[in-house]
Structure 1
Amino acid sequence: MIQVIQLGSSIPAVALTLVTKEGQETVMADTLFAGKKVVLFAVPGAFTPTCSAHHLPGFVVLADEIKAKGVDMIACISVNDGFVMRAWGEQQNAEEITMLADGGGAFTKALGLEMETGDFGGMRSQRYAMIINDGVVKQLNVEAPKQFEVSKAESILAAL
């Protein structure tokens, strides 16, 4: 059975690809989130319907309000490569969102939040959002299958 990361747990030391306008770089998740208050949300796939029409756009629209609650970073992660995450962020005007690629799914697996989607794309991330304070999980909202309520920007803003 997969063990899902728990409240109070530290973010694992797993490599991610940080996507910026300047390019890409490999960063360790625990180091990236250390000393910061972070809202991290995960989507099953870039350019997919709910993710593109609602999930990422909600955080784009509410970014200033979320950051006004003391959040240092809003990050979006998906089991996609860095080139896809960069193109998706640009298409969505997500300048205030840190786009993270978990290309091989190592971070998603370390959190215990992977799901198998078969022909849709293989191993992907479940849809979730979490609040991280100095590398420690303070809130974790994982969506039930085919739902979009607890991980949306409005729900996280209310939890801050």
Structure 2
Amino acid sequence: MIKVGDALPEATLRKLGQDGIDEVTTGDFFAGRKVALIGVPGAFTPSCSNEHLPGFVEKAKQFYDKGVDQIACMSVNDPFVLKAWGDSANVGDAVMLLSDGNADLTQKMGLEFDGSGAGLGTRCKRFAMLVEDGVVTALNVEDSPGSVEVTNADKLLAEL
């Protein structure tokens, strides 16, 4: 599993843009920036929708005031689902939603779990990390996909 001090692996994420699906490479996205990156097991799932994402939306200004250039939320969902989730959660510009649809980055970071017992396939463990110029400077990972204890916005804010 990825750890503090490691560089993020190279991978391509996706987001829905004005003209369709835009590709976002980790090398370009994280270069020269401080990013609060959260990973969720799935869009529209209870803990993700009711606790995890809303905390980062509500506290976005505090992150940006502390020098974070971008808050991004990654999920093993397609960009269309993430766009609909963002719209329903009134995310606006507070948090960028990134699709790791094939779990490429998730698996390269060693943050995957098998949700096939619930019909979900490979999913991303719930995490919250700070990444500075492509290097992980803080990392919190939940033991259970339904928990939002060590990955909430307040916990990550305290690490800035």
TM-score, normalised on structure 2?
0.94
Give 2:56's aligned amino acid.
Answer: F
Match of 1:43 among 32, 40, 43: 40
Give 1:154's aligned amino acid.
Answer: D
Counterpart of 1:13 in structure 2 is: 10
Q: Secondary structure at the match of 2:130?
A: strand
Once the two structures are superposed, the pairs formed by residues 82-101 of structure 1 within 5 Å of their partners are: 82-95=79-92, 96-101=94-99
Say if 2:72 and 2:95, in contact at 8 Å, map to a contact too.
Answer: yes
Q: CA RMSD in A?
A: 1.1
Instruction: Provide, for residues 121-147 of structure 1, a one-character-per-residue CA deviation record: whole Å limited to 9, x for no partner.
Output: 110000000000001000010011142
Identity of aligned residues (%): 45
Aligned in 2, Cα 1:117/1:73: closer, same or farther, shift over 3 Å? same
Counterpart of 1:152 in structure 2 is: 152
What 5-or-longer segments of structure 2 have no aligned partner? none
Aligned residues between the structures: 157
Structure 1 residue runs of 4 or more that deviate by more than 4 Å after TM superposition: none
CA displacement at 1:120 relative to structure 2: 3.5
Say if 1:41 and 1:75, in contact at 8 Å, map to a contact too.
Answer: yes
Moved more, 51-60 or 11-20: 11-20
Instruction: Provide, for residues 15-70 of structure 1, a one-character-per-residue CA deviation record: whole Å limited to 9, x for no partner.
Output: 11033455420121121111100000010000000100011110010000111000
Give 2:113's aligned amino acid.
Answer: M
Q: Secondary structure at the match of 1:10?
A: coil
Once the two structures are superposed, the pairs formed by residues 1-160 of structure 1 within 5 Å of their partners are: 4-20=1-17, 23-95=20-92, 96-118=94-116, 119-145=118-144, 146-160=146-160
CA displacement at 1:158 relative to structure 2: 1.1
Q: Secondary structure at the match of 1:147?
A: coil
